[in-house]
Amino acid sequence: MFTKHITSNMINRREFLDWTKCGLSGAAITSLLQRDGHAASDAKPPHGRPPASRVIHICLCGGLSQVDSFDYKPELFRLHGKSLQAKERPDVFFGNVGLLRKPDWQFRQHGRGGLWISDLFPNIAGVADELTVINSMVAESSSHTPATFQESSGFRLNGFPVMGSWVSYGLGNMTDELPTYVVLPDSRGFPAGSTSNWTNGFLPARHQGVPFRTDGGEGNAISNLFPARTIAEPVESDSRALLEAMNRRHLEAHGFEDAFAARITSYELAARMQLAVPEVTNVRGESEQTREAYGLNRDETRDFGRSCLLARRLLERGVRHVQLFSGGSFGSPRINWDGHEDMRRNHGREAGRIDQPVATLIRDLRQRGMLDDTLVLFTSEFGRTPFTQSAADQVGTGRDHNQTGFSLWMAGAGLNSGMSYGATDDVGYQAVENPVPWHDFHATVLHLLGIDHERLTFYHNGIERRLTNVHGDVISDILT
């Protein structure tokens, strides 16, 4: 029995480590020792001095149109209504290649660097000096689910750990009361691929993302965190003691099992989260000025505004990686950025939900001094075509998927801000200057966190797996 070790006046290191493998109390002590650097864990020390220590990743589901947002192409105004001049017919998702269409929003230059941003995002344009825009992203799929998987994990197939899980694995946690990696889905639905977008894959189970509900419920953000009925304290204590004894017996009989150990850790974390989650998700204590700035007083912006405010509060309490989703999966009417039918109606609605909250988040992080060590990412799985999804002789109102050239932006620690990098062709269709695949983007994010993407590995099925697979180059030109 392991109890003999803790009743002894002196125990050696091997006996102590044996004891900490068993039971909730042992798991709790191991967790605390790992946090303070006295016990081994999955976390690898940073490979360099990192400018960033935490991440907020905002994912726009469905495909943001680069030519209507951050990639200004004056030629589209001149060529509006004309056919795309290309050596071969574009391979698009629905197969309809209509005539070129000018942007539905005017572009203007913003900030000291004169960054081009359209009127689709008037509030984000107000923080242009904080942004580093990449206008030459490329992906390998024009289908939502595999493209979203690649955006998240670097692979088009599911089952691979996503970036948030790799960050958790590589850097560990900064708090004992909340998960290392928290996910805030759109209140209208999960993204394409559902929960696979925050999977730990083959990494230890404790590195999976923990989704919080974002439907506005205060203090009840995690399902089944609290019992359905009040349980008397003696019953609760006896139940925990029984569970600990059963866990200990299982470990003695079967040895270490990752899934079982993760379950023990999750129960131990859940006990602490019962106090921490109601506090962090209760935004009523924020000033009225803050609530107004994030858009909590408007129906249009309330849901995403609350998620942005919650992201800041989670970071303040030690969460390492927070991922927000704007848009859900497929459906009719659409609940994401997939503007096949009517770009102005679709993108106008979706931008109206997030523009003010995202801009406020950037300003708030800057004002609190948090942007100096926080990395904010604003991405979409692919972009949209400069021509419309319509008959070949028509200017339609919607645009199809485009993986050959699209835009995203980053903000925060270690970045040259107020600039754009890379370029697409004259009509915004294909990346022609400094194309950036997802592997390069992921390598750059890890670099900003002090991690060498080639050294952060996990052995699985005979292969030293990486977030960047066997690819990836850091985009040094956007770094300070």
Range scoring the smallest mean pLDDT among 38-47, 110-119, 381-390: 38-47
Considering only residues 222 and 306, tell me which one the structure prediction assigns the higher pLDDT.
Answer: 306
Whether residue 137 is found in the same domain as residue 159: yes
Q: Where are the beta strands (DSSP E) in 238-373?
A: 321-326
Write down the pLDDT at residue 117. Answer: 98
What is the phi/psi pair of residue 421, to 5°? -130, 140
For the segment 470-479, what is each residue's pLDDT rounded down to a tens digit?
999 999 999 9
Expressed as residue numbers, the domain containing 268 is: 1-39+225-281
Distances (CA, A) of 234 to 64, 216, 276, 284, 294: 54, 33, 23, 33, 43
Q: How confident is the model at residue 260 (pLDDT cuts 50, 70, 90)?
A: low
Whether residue 343 is found in the same domain as residue 296: yes
Residue 25: is its pLDDT beyond 70?
no
Instruction: Among 263, 281, 299, identify where a domain stops.
Output: 281
Whether residue 33 is found in the same domain as residue 55: no
Q: How far apart are CA 385 and CA 383, in angstroms?
A: 7
Residue 256: is its pLDDT beyond 80?
no
Residue 347: is its pLDDT beyond 70?
yes
Work out the angle at residue 367's Cα, subtended by the Cα atoms of residues 363 and 369, and round it to the nearest 5 degrees.
Answer: 115
Q: With b meaning 16 or more CB within 10 Å and e meaning fewer, what string describes 161-185?
A: bbbbbbbbbbbbbebebbbbbbbbb
Q: How far apart are CA 328 and CA 351, in angstroms?
A: 14
45 located within any domain: no
Q: How confident is the model at residue 244 (pLDDT cuts 50, 70, 90)?
A: confident
Q: How confident is the model at residue 10 (pLDDT cuts 50, 70, 90)?
A: very low
Whether residue 321 is found in the same domain as residue 355: yes
CATH number, domain containing residue 414: 3.40.720.10
**Overall number of domains in the chain:** 2
Work out the angle at residue 256's Cα, subtended by the Cα atoms of residues 255 and 261, and round it to the nearest 5 degrees.
Answer: 135
Whether residue 1 is found in the same domain as residue 117: no
Average pLDDT over residues 183-208: 94
Write down the pLDDT at residue 20. Answer: 41
Write down the pLDDT at residue 218. Answer: 56
Tokens of 306: 């609350």
Write down the pLDDT at residue 43. Answer: 53
Q: How far apart are CA 367 and CA 126, in angstroms?
A: 15
44 located within any domain: no
Whether residue 31 is found in the same domain as residue 84: no
Tokens of 462: 């005979």
Whether residue 297 is found in the same domain as residue 365: yes
Whether residue 60 is found in the same domain as residue 117: yes
Q: How far apart are CA 320 and CA 91, in angstroms?
A: 39
For the segment 86-96, what is each residue's pLDDT rounded down to a tens digit?
877 887 887 88
For the segment 282-335, what is each residue's pLDDT rounded down to a tens digit?
888 899 999 999 999 999 999 999 999 999 999 999 999 999 999 998 878 899
259 located within any domain: yes
For the segment 62-76, what is each residue's pLDDT rounded down to a tens digit?
999 999 999 999 999
Whether residue 293 is found in the same domain as residue 336: yes
- Give kind and range of the element (H or E) at residue 446: helix 438-448
Whether residue 401 is found in the same domain as residue 257: no
Whether residue 143 is found in the same domain as residue 198: yes
433 located within any domain: yes
Contacts of 132 (CB under 8 A, 6+ apart): 409, 410, 411, 415, 416, 417, 418, 419, 420, 421, 478
Q: How far apart are CA 330 and CA 443, in angstroms?
A: 30
Residue 101: is its pLDDT beyond 70?
yes
Whether residue 417 is found in the same domain as residue 469: yes
